[in-house]
Chains A and B, each alone.
Chain A
């Protein structure tokens, strides 16, 4: 029984970590830049397809395909940011929502056109497959890998935002754009880089997700719901918040399905309603 509980928590943690990598970028852009980017999931899908192309066409190993997914999604997102999103920073939320959700439709159609409507299977290297058995409990190697990657990303982001010069510039630009500009910060560039990092992380998440949940042109829609739940429960702009929210959601989802399968899939929505009822700004949100 204890063993089962440990396994359920482990699985939930791994699923939560996947959600975290997928959503932390949106938390950053939404919280810091006040831009409602529903196309975030489309950048995750983009990363997934980039990883597929890198592995199939270029013959790169899986671990080398991950940075390709990150960098590729980041670069392409900057193009979109400079060409399109930038014009909507001062628009109201409804315009941003309409525009970005439209972009998801375009992304889904483009993916279907380029890659077909089917699932894209990948084959992981042997050292990421299989299980490690500890005390009769079986831990999936890939799930452990996910947890390690997510923890590393969290540490890097927190350190980067709190302790580097660039992190300070980002925070300054967010707190008071005009003052930051007046002090000579190039707010435009700072936002573009922040946006790129956020989308790059989504791309990385998309690549990591293929093994667990698959990849097809509807990816951008499917995971939008989970991503939005994580962001709203965690609180806008809070990396720690997204992390905690993702863990709570992942563990509750898996545990709920295990212990009460009849209502298991609704549990995370109940949780969402409950948490937002008590803290409308999310667990770690400031506004």
Chain B
């Protein structure tokens, strides 16, 4: 008798499950699809798109539906408004995207109040994950890659360095964390300059660096046109490795910048969490599929952030068996670990922030093409700032 009831119940559930197959999980993606950061938004979106294309649009019996919203630039207010609209009007279950820190900060309150999982797929300022208990990050933090890099720089034999960073939040973060790692290890910072965020011509700053004659110069500037411009300015002034070492975060030597800088880029050493050329089956497959889907364009940090962000969403949904409540999804995300095209990564159960390998790369010529060649790896790096103040 009991058995019969169980069977009947199971059948009932089965039927209910069948009826629910039409249910959807709505994911609201908030990024700048237009404006000065359009490239970041579109690369991130291509990462999301590729993941869905490869893994299907059905998870835990539910259909994944993406609703895209364009912020049009660095505008926290718009991001907040869009997040509210997504939650209230479109009824999304998950908020995702967030290429820029101010926009992630703008939307954080909405995630908290609506109790929705918010997957930050890029915004790289340390503090982002502390703004809401529903935020999980799948990209990188600036201190995460630069603090160990500072240490590494000193251990590689450099004793004094000059820092040149763009005058905005991420630039200051990068400068401080590199300098902290470097000086804690025993190095000395002999000079520091800030450049305007949108700086067309670097000759004056590079000339100042040359005057100080450091062993190495550390650079942090936003991606886009500036890396090539600063690379050329450095080469024109004769500030080139191995005489003067050039350190920076990965944006400095992204593929377009390398193509434009040419052999001036040789020897530049950068720190990053994703290396396009890393020879690994998972990565090779990812890069090939990405290029095929995007007219030959290569994936970058935004693409991998979006791709892994979707992975996190899919796996969390599988674990909650389709339960989309923010609390259940965040619980499922905590401690999750997986092999990404970037390498092994996981979500710190305490901070909900990404833990991953930091790669130190040097620009070398491989088969006639300039590449970022990995010369060292630092595994399992956490953001050094989280918990530092506690």
Contacts and interface: CB of A to CB of B under 8 A. Distances in A.
Contacts, number: 104
B224 A213 contact: no
Interface in A101-118: 109, 112, 116-118
Contact of A265 (B199, B257, B262): B199
Contacts of B38: 112, 117, 217-218
A119 B260 contact: yes
A11 B203 contact: yes
Interface in B93-131: none
Contact of A264 (B36, B198, B204, B232): B204
B236 A140 contact: yes
A2 to B, nearest CB: 13
Contact of A8 (B199, B204, B224, B229): B204
B193 interface: yes
A138 B236 contact: yes
A254 to B, nearest CB: 5
B256 A123 contact: no
A255 interface: yes
A250 to B, nearest CB: 8
B193 A213 contact: no
A257 interface: yes
A149 interface: no
B319 interface: no
B72 to A, nearest CB: 11
Nearest to A141: B236
A216 B225 contact: yes
Contacts of B22: none
A167 interface: no
B203 A131 contact: no
A117 B207 contact: no
Given A8-B207, A117-B42, A213 B225 contact: yes
Given A119-B224, A261-B194, A109 B297 contact: no
A7 B236 CA distance: 11
A255 B208 CA distance: 11
Interface in B200-230: 200-201, 203-205, 207-208, 211, 224-226, 228-229
Interface in B236-262: 236-238, 256-257, 259-260, 262
A254 B208 CA distance: 11
B203 A222 contact: no
A4 B207 contact: yes
Contacts of B194: 261-262
B207 A15 contact: no
B203 A254 contact: yes
B259 A255 contact: no
Nearest to A219: B225
Q: How many A residues are at the interface, by size bracket?
A: 35 or more
A214 interface: yes
Contacts of B34: 109, 112
Interface string A226-265: 1000000000000000000000000001111110011011
A112 to B, nearest CB: 6
B252 to A, nearest CB: 13
A262 B226 CA distance: 19
Contacts of B295: 116
Contacts of A257: 195, 204-205
A121 interface: yes
A213 B260 contact: no
Contacts of B344: none
B49 interface: no
A280 to B, nearest CB: 27
A114 B192 CA distance: 40
A215 interface: yes
B39 interface: yes
Given A138-B237, A138-B238, A217-B38, A123 B205 contact: no
Contacts of A119: 39, 224-225, 228, 256-257, 260
A123 B211 contact: no
A179 interface: no
A99 B35 CA distance: 19
A76 interface: no
B241 to A, nearest CB: 17
Contact of A212 (B39, B200, B208, B211): B200
Contact of B36 (A120, A121, A211, A218): A218
Nearest to A223: B200
Contacts of B39: 116-119, 216
A181 interface: no
B260 A11 contact: no
A121 B201 contact: no
A261 B257 contact: no
A123 B262 contact: yes
A254 B201 contact: yes
Nearest to A10: B203
B12 interface: no
Contacts of B238: 131, 138
A258 B193 CA distance: 10
A207 to B, nearest CB: 15
Interface of A: 4, 7-8, 11, 15, 109, 112, 116-123, 129, 131, 138, 140, 143, 211-218, 221-222, 226, 253-258, 261-262, 264-265
24 contacts: A4-B207, A8-B207, A11-B207, A15-B200, A116-B39, A117-B39, A119-B256, A119-B257, A121-B260, A122-B260, A123-B260, A123-B262, A131-B238, A211-B232, A212-B229, A213-B229, A214-B224, A214-B260, A216-B39, A218-B35, A218-B36, A261-B194, A261-B205, A264-B204
Given A117-B42, A119-B228, A254-B203, 11 more contacts: A4-B211, A7-B207, A109-B34, A112-B38, A117-B38, A117-B39, A121-B259, A138-B237, A214-B224, A254-B201, A258-B208
